[in-house]
Structure 1
Amino acid sequence: MKTLKTAAQESQSENTSSASESAPKTRGARVDESSASPVKKPRVGFAVKFAIGLVVMVAVVLASFMIGRYQNVDAIQAIKITLSQVFPFLPIEHDWAELDASVVLSIRWPRIIIALFVGAALSCSGAAYQGVFRNPLVSPDILGISAAAGFGAAVAIVFSNPYSPIVQISAFVCAIGGVVLAYLLARVKGSIPNVMLILAGVVVAAVFNAGISMMKYLADPEEQLPAITFWLMGSLTGIRWENLAYCVPIISVSLIVLLLFSWRLNLLTMGDDEAKSMGIKASRLKTIVIVCATAMTATAVSQAGTIGWIGLVIPHMARMIAGPDHSKLIPMSAVMGGTFLLLIDDLTRVISETALPLSIPIALIGAPFFAILLRRTKQGWVE
């Protein structure tokens, strides 16, 4: 018995000693594993990303002054001309010709400003529509806005002067009227379901596209028909300060309203029932967002013609950078959309002496980029 007890005690003591020896090794191994784990890189904040976007936008604006047929103006000279015009009391040496000042102030500044505002309007309205309809394939022309504006412009070109301001006014009025018609068609028992509104937009677009075809048939094939075709392809040619008189205020006010309601739009993306449970009137909020997005889109299309892909691709790019929060998504979309359209306009002026329509390079760049974006996205659309 003593021998058995002694052997048992010895084996127990050996097990205890071996366990005690192995314990520090295990702990040490855990420490080594934790120390060997990769350190997460700190994420860049939204303020830094937005500041980088603004810097890129300013750089593109300065480069845009040097692009065009008239090559005697550089960025520094454009800044001096602008400052002498805005602040005439500054002691700036007048070392430029009158033609230089005329090109900068009357041609390139209006074109740059309208490109920034039109690009921002299309991209922000696309982000707003995608949030309201909870559909990543929604673009600003989902409610037939582009087709209705094109019909209004075609009617004005056929029955008036193609270079008259009536063309822009008619395009804007018809765009608003097309959305109102889609709203009336989609109303069911006092409510407007998203599916019905989208289908109504398809119907409205089909009707106005038929109207555009009719105007092309009635147009003069030597002057009016080329003007209609060129307008439908989108261009910033011929933009002057008069075009900015109502374009900038409408887009600015609509964009501010979208920013004010951006946090409520985040709730709307979770569904109407979720928004109502949190005290949000979904139908009223949806109407406000659609009205603002429609006003921006109608204004942009009436000035620059039909421009696709910006309202579809840019919001996805901005969402990848800023995230799904609309309080960050909308301002990032505005900066990226304006910069992108200005870059495309500069590209058209570089590769062609004539005014190349904007829709051609935008489609050639936007469609492949969107395809690559779809292939690289592994988690689907970020809601």
Structure 2
Amino acid sequence: MTFIATSQSSFPRFQLLSHAARQFTPNWFAATMGTGVLALILGHFGSVPALYQCGQLLWVFNALLFALFSALYVAHWLLHLETARSIAGHPVLSMALGTIPMGLATIGNGFVLFGPDLLGPAAIGIAHGIWWLDGALSLTCGLGVPFLMMTRQTHSPAEMTGVWLLPLVAAEVAAVSGLLLAAHLPVADQAGVLLTSLVLWACSVPLALGLVVVLMVRMIVHGLPPARVAASCWLALGPIATGALGMVLFSQAAPGALADGALAPLAPALAGASLLLGTLLWGYGLWWVGLASLISAHYFAAPVPFNLGWWAYVFPLGVFTLATMALGDSWGNDTLGKLGLALVVMLVCSWLTVAVRTIAGTWRSALLAGASWADN
């Protein structure tokens, strides 16, 4: 009797798990991207213990959230194989596969920033392993999703949005993670991590920036996308800001990492050139912040439907904030430092708005039945 009762009580639980797994799609990982980048930014305020601790707690929460989403997505593949495979042919949801490695990158970066206080030196080893996994996933998305777009999907210029950038940007996010990690590794490992990070950067930034130009032409020729994808206009800021942050971090890491190698005489020149390129990309990003703000004001003159795509208001702005703070440190510029603080305030407000609406939408099950980045 006990066995029968246990089986009967566990069956509804399995049905509940199966239903949750069936409804789960990869665009949910965008929430871990936005939450993770805010945690990392708060963690940079080590001189303000309250902010640092908030960042640490938010990072732990985000790691648990990423683990939950990963379990649901694995269950999605195990329990609903045909539905999971159909994502490869979906012209929008397949783009969201790029959010998985980008969400993972925020977890790995947190092990570098917060991990030593919580786990000791072992945290850097964990971060190093996560980084290699993240790089492999990023390259898989960056190559695989465009190939699927060419062979299994149907697209048109008029339907293009910034969502197309998601699988491409993952590699440069992994590059930034490697550049953050390098200084914490043994000297013998630093140059290899820097080289790999530059390759990842090159696999993403040039192509993504070219796609941003095409996106600009699309918006001029065909007008703005529908309001349900209003947030996608911010996605173009992602590759620009991440590219800038990568170059600034390389300029900081290169002198130490290359000091004992054949490139040691060139390290100062490489650092200077990288800082210059990072500054130019940051200026481009500042222009895009202005354009995206004008476009958003245009959209919000009327009601804009909420969906998971609103997380695009968070992560790109977060990376631009990190780039601004890093650039301010490198230039020793107080104006950039103050701008960075203003951006932090904007980011916190954006995250709170989107997080609260995501929780409310999940509670009402409004976000659990859609099929696309926009409709979810």
Do these two structures clear the TM 0.5 threshold for a shared fold by scoring above it?
no
Greater RCO between the two (CA within 8 Å, min separation 6)? 1
Q: TM-score, normalised by structure 1?
A: 0.27
| Greater gyration radius | 1
- Identify the structure with the greater helix proportion: 2
